[in-house]
Amino acid sequence: MFENAIRRMPRPQDAATLTTQQLRDTFAVTHLFAPGELRGVFTDLDRLVVGGVMPLQPIDLPNHKETGRAFFLERRELGAINVGGPGVVHADGKTFSLDRLDCVYLPMGSKSVTFESQDAKHPARFYFLSCPAHATHPAATMKPKDASPVPLGSPAAANQRTIYKYIHTGGIPSCQLVMGFTALEAGNVWNSFPPHTHWRRTEIYFYFDLGENVLTHFMGEPQQTRHLFLHNEEVALSPNWSIHCGCGTGNYKFIWGMAGENQTFDDMDGVKPMDLR
């Protein structure tokens, strides 16, 4: 079920004074997946909700008092990416099959949503984000090969990676939500470096396929940085004033998601590495 409390973000000057545990309690989301459960967290980052579903039997998307509406997606939209075994999402009589790394978008007004695994012995693991919406777009799915893969980085910089854009301008249309994933090649460990901020959008990172590796997620204002050590299938919440980049002890993947004033992927305020503190 959803956490009772909303994750509320501190001011940047206050975040700089938090202890390690306070940083984790505020910015890290852990234990999103549990067999047979749906788990989620409401945040005040553009009212984004982050969640995970690991169905052994079909699981309905429940409503929550924080939506203030009759059903969860009455005034919200949702994107989900499957990071587990083959699964199915049912929405208002339509069925969407999702293999691993496939994405589904469900628009505002979707009243009945159910998550299901095709094989309970190898359950699906649906990672989802939801944000407020004021316009309806068609429900849709997309596979990685259709997500306009963009190669970036280089082995010399230890950041050779491929970006897969699912929900964005030019891909699956949405009201506010932007979502996709990035895969690092073997031997590469850095993501989103040099770092950036974007005051017009907040962002959420879900790190996965780490195995036993550990990842350091860097955050905070560029001149007042902090960090989180994260493990497989853990989340970093990133306010608009914070940098968001990471370095792992091996390669990995991460799902990025944003909501805010625009959907322009490269609307970023770059930070020079030599200016970081």
Instruction: Give the whole-angstrom CA distance, residue 244 versus residue 246.
Output: 7
DSSP 3-state assignment of 25? helix
Q: What is the 3-state secondary structure (H, E, C) of 47-105?
A: CCEEEEEECCCCEECCCCHHHCCCCCCCCEEEEEEECCCCEEEEECCEEEEECCCCEEE
Instruction: Give the whole-angstrom CA distance, residue 221 versus residue 223.
Output: 5
Q: Where are the domains of the chain?
A: 12-275
pTM for the model:
0.96
Instruction: Give the whole-angstrom CA distance, residue 21 versus residue 27.
Output: 10
**Residue keyed to tokens 């950036």:** 196
Nearest to 244 by CA among 208, 201, 185: 201
The model's pLDDT over 137-168, given as tens digits with 9 standing for 90+, comes to 999 999 999 998 999 999 999 999 999 999 99
> What is the identity of the amino acid at 177?
L
- In the predicted model, what is the mean pLDDT of residues 35-43? 98
Bridge partner list, 202? 259
Arithmetic mean of pLDDT over the chain:
95
**Range of weakest confidence among 115-124, 190-199, 226-235:** 190-199
Topology (CATH level 3) of domain 12-275: Jelly Rolls (2.60.120)
- In the DSSP assignment, the letter for residue 43 is B
What pLDDT does 266 receive? 73
> What is the identity of the amino acid at 161?
R
Asked if the model's pLDDT at residue 265 lies above 70, the reply is no
